[in-house]
Amino acid sequence: MGRILAVVAGAFLAAGALLGCTEPGGAARPEAAQPLSDERDAIPLSDAERSLVLAEMRLMLESTEGVVAGLASNDMRAVEQAAARSGLGASGTVDQTMHASLPEAFVHMGAAAHGGFDDIAILAREGAGVDAVTMRLSQTLSQCTSCHAAFRVERHD
Ligand code: HEC
């Protein structure tokens, strides 16, 4: 087992070296799985706007954590509360307050992610089972990953 791991690790290091995934100092980069060029569209934002967007992201991750924890312990009240914090109705989501600074596709995916949390809260409140809530969570998480694949934020003055 240890030998197999060593072979696999060796293969990764060799691939990294071939692809030039080394720092100037020669150490392999831990994030070697990342694409070498960043093809995501950059959204230019002021520091304050960027902080708002990232704070909202962290809130959505917290909601995800709460929903998964609630599902794991079959506590639908906890699922509902965690999801509701990131719903469209939660006060001042960035796609509402910063609409003008954000690309249309970003606003659309952001609203879909928030709407997903609303649906999860409703499902949990109305007594839907773990399977139905998990399915809606998985659809909601695909909004996260699609948007993350498409966009990054960039500071402008
Ligand atoms: C509408 C687009 C969009 C959606 C939907 C989206 N994100 Fe993001 N998220 C971003 C962008 C853009 C960044 C900044 C990435 C960068 O600049 O490298 C980001 C960053 C983050 C970060 C890092 C925050 C920080 O402080 O650096 C977390 C965590 C995150 N997102 C979680 C989530 C989760 C969880 C979801 C889904 C429930 C989600 N995001 C949905 C666009 C989105």
Could you report the per-residue pLDDT of 47-78, keeping only the tens digit for each? 999 999 999 999 999 999 999 999 999 999 99
Predicted local distance difference test score (pLDDT) of residue 47: 93
From CA 71, how far away is CA 129, in angstroms rounded? 9
Q: Is 106 in the pocket of ligand 1 (CB under 6 A)?
A: yes
Q: Which pLDDT score, from 0 to 100, does residue 22 have?
A: 43
CA of 144 to the centre of ligand 1 (A): 7
What pLDDT is attached to residue 37?
A: 86
Q: 92-134, pLDDT tens digit by residue?
A: 677 777 888 899 999 999 999 999 999 999 999 999 999 999 9
Is the minimum distance from the CB of 152 to ligand 1 under 6 angstroms?
yes
- The finding on whether 155 has its CB within 6 A of some atom of ligand 1 is no
- The Å distance, Cα 54 to ligand 1 centre, comes to 7
pLDDT in tens, 87-103: 997 766 777 778 888 99
Distance 107 CA to ligand 1 centre (A): 13
Kindly tell me the sign of the dihedral angle through the C-alpha atoms of 88, 91, 96, 100: negative
Ligand 1 atom at minimal distance to the Cα of residue 95: 1
102 CA to middle of ligand 1, Å? 14
Question: What residue type is assigned to position 14 of the chain?
Answer: A
**What's residue 108's pLDDT?**
93
75/69 Cα distance (integer angstroms): 8
Taking only the tens place, the pLDDT of each residue in 15-50 is 444 444 444 444 455 555 666 789 999 999 999 999
CA dist., res. 109 & res. 77, Å (int): 26
What is the per-residue pLDDT for 101? 85
pLDDT range class, residue 6, cuts 50, 70, 90: low
pLDDT-derived band at 157 (thresholds 50, 70, 90) equals confident
What is the distance between the alpha carbons of residues 83 and 104, in angstroms, rounded to a whole number? 24
Closest residue by CA, ligand 1 atom 22: 57
Dist. CA 123–CA 76, nearest whole Å: 9
